[in-house]
A and B are shown apart, each in its own frame.
Chain A
């Protein structure tokens, strides 16, 4: 395992994000977006082969599907998991770990992809709608990928519409079951965080080389906790970079982070 001589920050984040799925066992690893999908693919072909993945359409595959244009039938189906079975089989069974990029995240880990500003009846900016976030968050493991760490994403108060459940005590409805709420990693262009602080506070566990804790704090709308020992995010190995390139033959990862900056070695 040789550390690569050159790599991009995005590739470094993909490697860090793949750690979210380490040891998860037999569940569906869903990475929504270029970097999370590459991270899930990397996890499956390196440290956690038990993971299950789809081709993004309807089939389960044992060899992750590359991103971008390819032959329609290039993917080899090993199983079947269409949307028509997705809630039964993957979400409401808890057999899934998704990594997503919400528009807003608050101190409780609540996220928003519904709308920004205004009101429910007249939003300032309409987005997708809640999609599967309420169900995902109350049933299975979730992680997040944020390519531009800022106060616009990590908001000061609550998110504008709570699309997914977090650890906000004010929203813990009495008698309801929140046992399966399980937020793991947040990987950003500045740092890696988890929910390991007191009462699930968001905590910095890694800083990318050259980034200081106060830089991450200044780009966050709420107080971050520091892990007792903050590590430096490791550089990718030559082997990891080759796998990422194999699953991203059109280099879509070059447009994940503005100007596609180089990564730094530790």
Chain B
């Protein structure tokens, strides 16, 4: 595994990201170096997005640029019990753990992954199937489009790779756990994930970001997922970093013929988080379900930009995005559905629902449909509002105090997305997190 050294020059320290683009200490293969140097070459012409740009209109990154970010020199110390508490029962023997972006063999365990599956850090994945990884790494997210993917690619020395062979089916969900510690101030980690589901295969991957502590730091993650013919990827992305964290993530998914993608992205952490998720339905029969939940409080800001790109005929997409905003938090949802020319018989439906719990909270929703074919079913709906007065009244009429009724309805609102996670113990954990957030933790909820 590669440890990214601290090579920030003193004279560059005034630029927020200069030190992050210096490249990894060593690349696992020559072609990876080529990828890295292309991204590094692109960096000078890429700048930090501003609110003047449509895609960043509601998300202000100027605070992020006030720090001079540096790569992590060596991972912080973690307590084994603390890590153990983060593990998911079903995935105890199918997990990779990264501490501050650095692969931790000690905390990882891949004995239970089953036949035909490769779950490994990059160098090891290359030894197993170099040509397969080489064909896909950096293909969906190149290093020359926007600043963050360029920075991530320029630092590409490590990656978490899930490589599922043709026809293989994962026995257990795979847990890719990225733990941040409160290490040196202004340190940044740039995780990279590559998920490859071969033809007719099926796998569940949990991509999770957590902090032990406040989470001071910047995470800039990139995930590429390529789903082969008739393969199925269930992808759960959990962003639960500490209250001081900055989190920018990009997920790019590509579906082949009859491939299925089921994504659930839950953002409950970080002071500011942004996720760009793009799904390309590239062949007939492809089906994508993209669900999301933002659970915000305090001064948190979560921005979710999704693109469902119907590039082929006869594909189906479904989307449900929910946000719950308390305190002075701010949720942004920008959901774009594009139906390209000749993508006939597309069937696409999107729902976004926002729940405002406090007078200082704010929600921006921008569902978009762009349709260039005529034989299409496409619909979107968006609502932003408060808890339903009739429902509150109903619960109160059964003797439930108003405050508790409000919490219960809030819980139910958020739980709809959580129920879509296919991992049982994770659902329970997420439910508990919502209960805690809504102040219902002590109330019996019936299950």
Verify that A and B bind, or say they do not: no
